[in-house]
Structure 1
Amino acid sequence: MEKWALNHPKLGLIELEVGYDSEFLELDPTWPEEPKEDEEIRPVTAESGLKERFGALFNNPSVRARILLNGQVLHRVNTAASGRYLLEDSVKEGELTGHNPGLDRAKPHVKVTANFFDEVLEVQFRQGSEIVIFDPPAGSRGEKRRQAMESSTIKRVGFPILAGLGKGGWAIAAIILASVFSRIVKWLLSLLPDFDINWPSLPALPQIALPTPSLPQIHLPTPNIDIEINLPALPAWVEFLLDYSKVWVPILIGIVVGLLALRNYRKSEQTKRAWHKQQRTQARADAASSKTTQADASENNSGDH
């Protein structure tokens, strides 16, 4: 089972658990239903190739997930898919929940990002403008992605941009496939022989002439305004962008999404550093208070003697 965890200074421990039926049944016998007797799980690790991952996707049982707050189950879902989950809801025994795309983002919630293989890549805590990214568990696909991003500045910038391009990639793929498909159709039509079909002529329909009323004609004076505005010619690069907007707009959206992801990562690191600073300050204050209490107790004991 894969476990993502974040200790929030106010809310407490936030957890995301990802696993199969048999793993969850060991934790909670009421959810999910008993797996089939012939159910086999093909193990997949962060080092598994595409062949093993595709085989697990089609042969393994569904990957389920739970979201907990301080040990209390808030959400149960049948697939570890991308989504947003409020940290205020609570499920009943055996109940399933789904992500809520229309939730109030000012409230504390968890944003889960997963790929096509239902592998969780990133988990974020969000509340308004506050964004904190969970540390990925050891051996997970998310940890491999994080290590790759931290190993190179190019990957740190490029991975989020590629992820953003993936969201707009369907538009680029549709444009390219449509062009290729139209060329294939034209090529197939060029292979067909030319032939004429003599369709039988249809009888002429009867013509009906209806009288039209003669209405009075009203001629209004029209002003003679001749204004010439000499606009400058558009630059060549502007004409290019206008002609190929269907291509560059999805790319631009992907780049913006990628840069936002990079900004969120930096904000998350700043927030974590602020949390650690607060924890150290609080720990020093608690230690000083404890020493003062012990000193007072020692003075009282010596005064009694």
Structure 2
Amino acid sequence: MTENHDTPVDREGAAVGPTSPEVWSLEHPRHGTLEVAVGDAASLRTVDPGFPEEKKKDDDNDADSATADSDPATALTSSPGFVLLRDGGLVARARKVGNHKVSITADPPKPDKFTSNPAAVSGPRVLMRSNVLDTKVRQVTFREGWEVVHFDPPPGSEAEARLADIADSPWKRVLYPIAGGVGKSGWAIAMIVLIPILGRLINPVIDWISERMPDVDIPWPDISLPSIPWPDITLPSINLPEVDLPGWVEFLLEYSKVWIPLLIGVALAMVAVRHSRKSRRIKQEWEAQRAADEAGEDEAESDDEH
């Protein structure tokens, strides 16, 4: 057994064990137990011994890096990776979380290697959605054909609390996805609001600099270009009727960079609501089928006893 140089230590120098990763899970009736473990390299090696070790910049930072690895809050806000497991066996691994699409039937990567291209577009696959900075996983979804089923979030996590809020309040089932979709147009709204403000702050500075710049007179050469006798074509004149557009139409035409992303965000939110309803319905069908199978097994056992 090789010595592990990434063993975390506390502030007093005492060795402590690696933290456990956050695990998203799904019990699929055909594909078995699917799990997505999220965390730093040390925690992911507890479920995947072949996960590549973190590289230290220099020896002087070893203690600081180990201390940071021992703190789960620090580990999950720096650059968490993930591991996809199927019935406990490795399927894929990546250095950073993000918006990945991973096939559950692909060949697993070799030890100390990452999955080369987690972007499956067909077949049974796991879809991961993260925040903008790729520091947290927002949702993990299984997809195959028409099946769209959400993974169960890690126990005690922020995602589990959010899911509980959605389950307890029907209107939040619609509000949360819409808020997430509308947020996709926030950059356009921010630019329209911030650019005029920045212009008012920067224009006085530019005027102050331009007033103090010396006047430079450059004697540009006078070049006479040849004159080309273009033909004179008379186009027919079309008298188009004058149309007075309503004020709201003029507003939409002027601020299309706001409402188009906003419309796209709302459309994506509606798709998310539909997928959430489909996921709950499929899980209920699985539970009913599982209960029926267990009842059939119990009845068969009782018949054998008699």
TM-score (norm 1): 0.76
Distance verdict in 2 for CA 1:129–1:184, change over 3 Å: farther
Does residue 10 of structure 2 align to residue 10 of structure 1?
no
CA distance in 2, matches of 1:165, 1:25: 38
Contact 1:17/1:66 (<8 A) preserved: yes
- The corresponding residue for 1:50 is none
Does the C-alpha gap of structure 1 residues 191 and 150 become closer, same or farther in structure 2, counting only changes over 3 Å?
farther
Describe the SS at the equivalent of 2:191.
Answer: helix
Superposed, 1:253-268 pairs within 5 Å as: 253-268=264-279
Query: Which of 88, 99, 109 matches 2:105?
Result: 88
**Which one has a bigger Cα radius of gyration?**
1
Per the alignment, residue 124 of structure 2 pairs with 108
Stretches of structure 1 that go unaligned for 5 or more consecutive residues are: 46-52, 296-305
- Between the aligned residues of both structures, percent identity stands at 30
Structure 1 residue 34: Cα displacement: 6.5
Distance 2:207 2:222 in 1: 37
Contact 2:128 2:137 in 1 (8 A): yes
Distance 1:30 1:137, change over 3 A: closer
1:169 paired residue among 186, 197, 200: 186
- Give the deviation of 1:93 after TM superposition: 2.2
**What is the CA-CA distance between 1:288 and the residue it aligns to?**
3.0
In 2: Cα distance, 1:231 partner to 1:202 partner: 49
CA contact (8 A) 1:4 1:135 kept: yes
Alignment partner of 2:128: what SS? Answer: strand
| Aligned pairs, number | 276
Change (3 A) 1:182 1:278: same
Shift of 1:167: 2.6
Could you tell me which residue of structure 2 aligns to residue 78 of structure 1? 95
Alpha carbons 1:119, 1:141 under 8 Å: kept:
no
Cα 1:200–1:155 change in 2 (3 A) is same
For residue 181 of structure 1, the aligned residue among 198, 206, 217 is 198
Cα distance, 1:241 vs. partner?
A: 0.9
TM-score by length of structure 2 reads 0.76
Change (3 A) 1:180 1:28: same
- C-alpha distance in 2, partners of 1:204/1:20? 65
- Matched residue, 1:284: 295
Q: 1:68 is paired with a residue of what secondary structure?
A: strand
Asked whether the equivalents of residues 24 and 32 of structure 1 are also in contact (C-alpha less than 8 Å), the reply is: no
Is structure 2 residue 287 aligned with structure 1 residue 271?
Answer: no
